[in-house]
Chains A and B, each alone.
Chain A
Amino acid sequence: MKKVLTLLFVISIVASCSSSDNGPDTTDNFDRSAMLVNWADNIIVPSYQAYKGELDELKTKSDGFIASPSVATLNELRTAWQEAYKKWQHVSMFEIGRAEALTLRNFTNIFPADASEIDQNIAQGNYNLTLPSTNDEQGFPALDYLLNGIASDDASIVNALNTTNHKNYLNDVVTRLRDLGTEVLNDWTTTYRDTFVNNNGSSASSAVNKLVNDFMFYYEKSLRAGKIGIPAGVFSNNTFNEKVEAFYKGDFSKALFLEALNAAQNFFNGKHYSSSTTGQSLKSYLDFLNTIKEGTDLSQLINNQFNGSRTSATNLENSFSQQVTTNNTLMLQTYDQLQMNVVLMKVDMFQALSIQVDFVDADGD
Chain B
Amino acid sequence: MTDRRRVNGPVGSTNPPVFEDEPEQEFGAQKGIRTRTPTATRKMYLKTGVTPSASGSAYLEIEASRKGAVSGLKLSCTVHGPRSLPRSTPFSPHIILSTHVKYAPFATKQRRGYIRDPTERDLGSHLETALRGAIIADRWPKSGVDIIISIVEGDHDRETSKSQGGEAWDMMNALSGCITVASAALADAGIDCVDTVAGGVAALVRDEGDDTTPRIVIDPIPSEHEQILAACCVAYLPDRDEITNLWFKGDLPASDMELYSQLVEKGIQASRNSNEVIVNSLLISTREQQPHERHDGTTRMHIAFNLQR
Same assembly: no
